[in-house]
């Protein structure tokens, strides 16, 4: 029985997920199956896979790096909110290949100006801010979008991440 098939039909229990995480970290080739299951399963199974992928990123971000282009390409297909949220959560801590950066930043700016849930917006802020290091010209637009978003949205998540991201932009500008 594969590692991933053991996810299906089992309720979330921290100890089981910790065990699965260790198995995945010990068998990095299983990440491909985990990503396939994440992208093609029902919402419950997809969420479990996304949770494990996020934990893999926490421990070994390099295990996910070769899958970043595939995850970005999935954003083109307008995935469900849960899949989108989890892709962005994973990608926010990844090095994105140059040829995918433009599409990813465009998606993130779109998410910031649309009716997406708060989590998608805050992950998008972080992703764009990370790209401001290589492309400082993005900082001006990101600052305007964040200020507008913070003015219109009183959510604690938007306010907190907005302040942190603006501070990050200021620190980047000070070092230039």
- How much is the pLDDT for 16? 65
Residue range 13-42: mean pLDDT, rounded = 80
d(CA 6, CA 53) in angstroms, rounded, equals 15
Does pLDDT of 32 surpass 80?
A: yes
d(CA 47, CA 40): 11
> Does pLDDT of 46 surpass 90?
no
| pLDDT, tens only, 142-155 | 999 999 999 998 89
CA distances from 22 to 2, 33, 87, 94 (A): 14, 15, 21, 21
pLDDT for res 33: 87
What's this model's pTM, rounded to 2 decimal places?
A: 0.87
Q: How far apart are CA 164 and CA 30, in angstroms?
A: 35
Residue 7, pLDDT score: 61
* Whole-number Å distance between alpha carbons of 81 and 116: 8
Sign of the Cα torsion 37, 72, 123, 56 reads positive
Among the listed ranges 3-7, 39-43, 50-54, 95-99, which one has the minimum average pLDDT value? 3-7
Secondary structure letter of residue 95 according to DSSP: P
Q: How confident is the model at residue 1 (pLDDT cuts 50, 70, 90)?
A: very low
Token pair 């899949």 is found at 83
Looking at residue 25, its pLDDT comes to 86
- Chain segment 84-136, per-residue pLDDT in tens: 999 999 999 899 999 999 999 999 999 999 999 999 999 999 999 999 989 99
Note whether 96 and 65 are within 8 A (CB). no
Residue 158 CA to residue 150 CA, distance in Å, equals 6
CA distance 85 to 34: 17
End-to-end Cα separation, the chain, in angstroms: 53
So what's the pLDDT on residue 69? Answer: 95
Average pLDDT, rounded, for the chain: 87
For 18, the 3-state DSSP assignment is helix
The pLDDT value recorded for residue 165 is 96
């Amino acid at each position: 029985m594969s590692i991933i098939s053991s996810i299906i039909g089992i309720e979330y229990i921290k100890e089981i997920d910790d065990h699965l995480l260790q198995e995945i970290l010990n068998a990095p080739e299983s990440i491909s199956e985990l990503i396939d299951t994440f992208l093609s399963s029902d919402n419950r199974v997809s969420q479990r896979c996304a949770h494990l992928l996020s934990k893999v990123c926490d421990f070994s971000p390099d295990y996910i790096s070769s899958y970043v282009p595939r995850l970005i390409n999935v954003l083109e297909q307008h995935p469900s909110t849960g899949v989108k949220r989890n892709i962005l959560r994973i990608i926010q801590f990844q090095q994105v290949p140059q040829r995918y950066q433009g599409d990813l930043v465009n998606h993130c700016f779109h998410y910031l100006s649309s009716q997406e849930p708060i989590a998608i917006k805050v992950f998008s802020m972080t992703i764009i801010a990370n790209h401001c290091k290589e492309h400082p010209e993005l900082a001006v637009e990101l600052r305007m979008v964040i200020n507008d978003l913070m003015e219109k949205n009183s959510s604690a998540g938007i306010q907190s991440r907005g302040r942190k991201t603006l501070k990050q932009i200021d620190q980047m500008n000070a070092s230039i």
